[in-house]
């Protein structure tokens, strides 16, 4: 992950994990926002992986609840162990040091622990959706059969090597205005994926939006809200198609 766009439009966080319809529980060794019905009511789960601003961001929690409303158990872990990016104006904040501590390889290992915990509870189908930093983790998860499908939204720095490793159905949702994952890169990824996954891949570029638009939008901007909601629906439709089990 690199570039200033990852840090633009920070959300107003909700200290104390107080927002959302779900609860915070321990799962796979991580504090995790859990919403929706799990086994035996639903054996399909979605792992939501946040951007650098963490799992307490209100719009991220709101989206988790929306995905749960589609019939999934949704889990959104605190991959940053209580240390999301909060105050970018703090002169003592060292972005590079933060990135080294909270790298996506560590996120991938933690995500696999969460997936194992879900399976131990009776979940039989799992999808992953990740945003920016979390998009890189979701792409790594898609390189194994630990999950059934993935959605990668305005990802951080993903490489061709990462794309070549993907084995499960994947949708990549990107912004027209994105210096980290520009449309031309995502379209190239789409060509690679189409050659091996055929119709089980999707690359969609949303016009007139910037990196982070799906979870860091201005709720008073009608176009921003509409663009975010379009991506949310596309994400849910993809996960429903490839992950949802007939209960």
Res 144: pLDDT: 93
* pLDDT of 22 higher than 50: yes
> Per-residue pLDDT tens for 193-216?
999 999 999 999 999 999 999 999
Looking at every residue in the chain, the average pLDDT score rounds to: 92
Q: Quick one: pLDDT at residue 177?
A: 96
3-state secondary structure 123-171: CCEEEEEEECHHHHHHHHHCCCCCCCEEEEECCCCCCHHHHHHCCCCEE
Entry pTM: 0.93
Cβ atoms within 10 Å of 197's Cβ, excluding its own: 16
Please, how many CA atoms are within 13 Å of residue 155, restricted to the half-sphere of its CB?
28
Residue 141: CB atoms within 10 A of its CB come to: 27
Note the pLDDT of residue 1. Answer: 43
Residue 186 has pLDDT above 70, yes or no: yes
Q: Do the strands 73-77 and 125-131 form a parallel or antiparallel pair, or are they unpaired? A: unpaired
pLDDT at position 12 over 70: no
Q: What's the DSSP call for residue 83?
A: -
pLDDT (tens digit, 9 = 90+) per residue, 110-139? 999 999 999 999 999 999 999 999 999 999
* pLDDT score, position 9: 61
**In which band, very low, low, confident or very high, does the pLDDT at 217 lie, cut at 50, 70 and 90?**
very high
Sign of the CA dihedral with 142 first, then 102, 15, and 117 last = positive
> Residue 89: what pLDDT?
81
pLDDT at 2 over 80: no
Q: What percent of the chain has pLDDT over 70?
A: 91
Q: Stretch 44-69: mean pLDDT, rounded?
A: 97
């Amino acid at each position: 992950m690199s570039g200033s766009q990852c840090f633009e439009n920070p959300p107003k966080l909700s200290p104390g994990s107080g927002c959302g319809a779900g609860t915070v529980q321990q799962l796979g060794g991580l504090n995790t926002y859990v919403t929706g019905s799990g086994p035996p009511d639903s054996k399909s789960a979605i792992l939501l992986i946040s951007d650098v601003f963490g799992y307490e961001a209100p719009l991220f929690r709101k989206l988790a609840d929306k995905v749960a409303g589609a019939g999934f158990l949704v889990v959104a872990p605190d991959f940053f162990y209580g240390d999301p990016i909060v105050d970018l104006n703090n002169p003592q904040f060292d972005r590079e040091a933060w990135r080294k501590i909270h790298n996506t390889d560590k996120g991938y290992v933690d995500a696999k622990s969460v997936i194992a915990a879900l399976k131990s509870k009776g979940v039989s189908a799992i999808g992953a959706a990740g945003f920016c930093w979390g998009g890189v983790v979701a792409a790594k998860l898609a390189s194994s059969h630990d999950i059934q499908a993935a959605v990668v939204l305005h990802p951080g720095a993903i490489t061709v090597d990462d794309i070549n490793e993907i084995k499960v159905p994947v949708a990549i949702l990107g912004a027209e205005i994105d210096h980290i994952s520009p449309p031309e890169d995502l379209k190239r990824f789409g060509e690679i994926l189409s050659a091996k996954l055929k119709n089980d891949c999707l690359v969609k570029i949303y016009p007139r939006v910037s990196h982070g638009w799906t979870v860091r939008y201005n709720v008073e901007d009608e176009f921003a809200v509409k663009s975010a909601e379009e991506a949310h629906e596309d994400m849910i439709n993809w996960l429903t198609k490839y992950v949802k089990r007939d209960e």
